[in-house]
Amino acid sequence: GENVEQHPSTLSVQEGDSAVIKCTYSDSASNYFPWYKQELGKGPQLIIDIRSNVGEKKDQRIAVTLNKTAKHFSLHITETQPEDSAVYFCAARTQGGSEKLVFGKGTKLTVNP
Amino acid sequence: NAGVTQTPKFQVLKTGQSMTLQCAQDMNHEYMSWYRQDPGMGLRLIHYSVGAGITDQGEVPNGYNVSRSTTEDFPLRLLSAAPSQTSVYFCASRAADTQYFGPGTRLTVL
């Protein structure tokens, strides 16, 4: 089955700096890669996603890149703000069958003012 | 739209007790799922359903039962609670690619 590795587990940056979180996946059949943000005491919320037929996707300060050959994808947050502080999860899903999402273990991002 | 709702928000059980975690969604989504979240473990899939009357096991199904009699509801039953089931439980529903999570139930088993 699919296995998703996420690094780093914790990340601390200064306000205004960029933050990068990386994930690798094992199943080459996976074709959908979402990123979730989880604030304290809340459920995860989708912030951006990418499909395997696209190499990069951007939404304001957030971007995701995908390298299918290397089977890794990354979340980039530019001009970080204190409200970006949260736990971020990557996930991968294989098309067809049960279409289950497999999650990475999460990255706790702290943006220091 | 209330989205995905879960009850209760907090629950404390004694070992061996049974209980049902409730989950409901008002978005008419066919796909629903249950995850547990433990420190350093991310989100692990317990059970999922692709529609009313259809359920299947996820990564960590032991000790849990589910049923899906309606599109809206997807309850998770703990048959005989164990301390290893102490966790935060999230229900989710999905339309196309986007998965929506509920606010979670924090369960402690003593």
Q: A63 at the B interface (CB within 8 A)?
A: no
Residues of B in contact with A3 (CB under 8 A): none
pLDDT, tens only, A74-103: 999 999 999 999 999 999 997 665 678 899
Exposure string over A22-55, b if 16+ CB within 10 A, otherwise e: bbbbeeeebbbbbbbbbeeeebbeebbbbebeee
pLDDT of residue B35: 96
CB-based contact A75:A20 (threshold 8 Å): yes
Give the integer Cα–Cα distance in Å for A48 and A55: 13
pLDDT digit string (tens) for chain B, length 110 residues:
679 999 999 999 999 999 999 999 999 999 999 999 998 888 999 999 999 999 999 989 999 999 999 999 999 999 999 999 999 999 999 988 889 999 999 999 99
Cβ contact B101–A34 (<8 Å): no
Three-class DSSP category at B83: helix
Q: A53 at the B interface (CB within 8 A)?
A: no
Average pLDDT over residues A53-80: 95
Q: A106 at the B interface (CB within 8 A)?
A: yes
Mean pLDDT taken over chain A: 93
Give the integer Cα–Cα distance in Å for B25 and B45: 18
Mutation target vs A (from B23, B89, B99, B106; most A CBs, 10 A cutoff): B99
Q: A6 at the B interface (CB within 8 A)?
A: yes
Q: Is a pLDDT exceeding 60 seen at residue A61?
A: yes
Question: How far is the alpha carbon of B43 from chain A, nearest alpha carbon, in Å?
Answer: 6
Residues of A in contact with B90 (CB under 8 A): 43-44
Mutation target vs A (from B37, B43, B57, B60; most A CBs, 10 A cutoff): B43
Q: Is a pLDDT exceeding 60 seen at residue A40?
A: yes
Residue from the list A32, A44, A100 with its beta carbon closest to the beta carbon of B45:
A100
CB-based contact A6:A104 (threshold 8 Å): yes
Cβ contact B98–A46 (<8 Å): yes
pLDDT of residue B50: 92
Cβ contact B103–A43 (<8 Å): yes
Q: Which residue has the tokens 């200064």?
A: A14
pLDDT bracket for residue A69 (50, 70, 90): very high
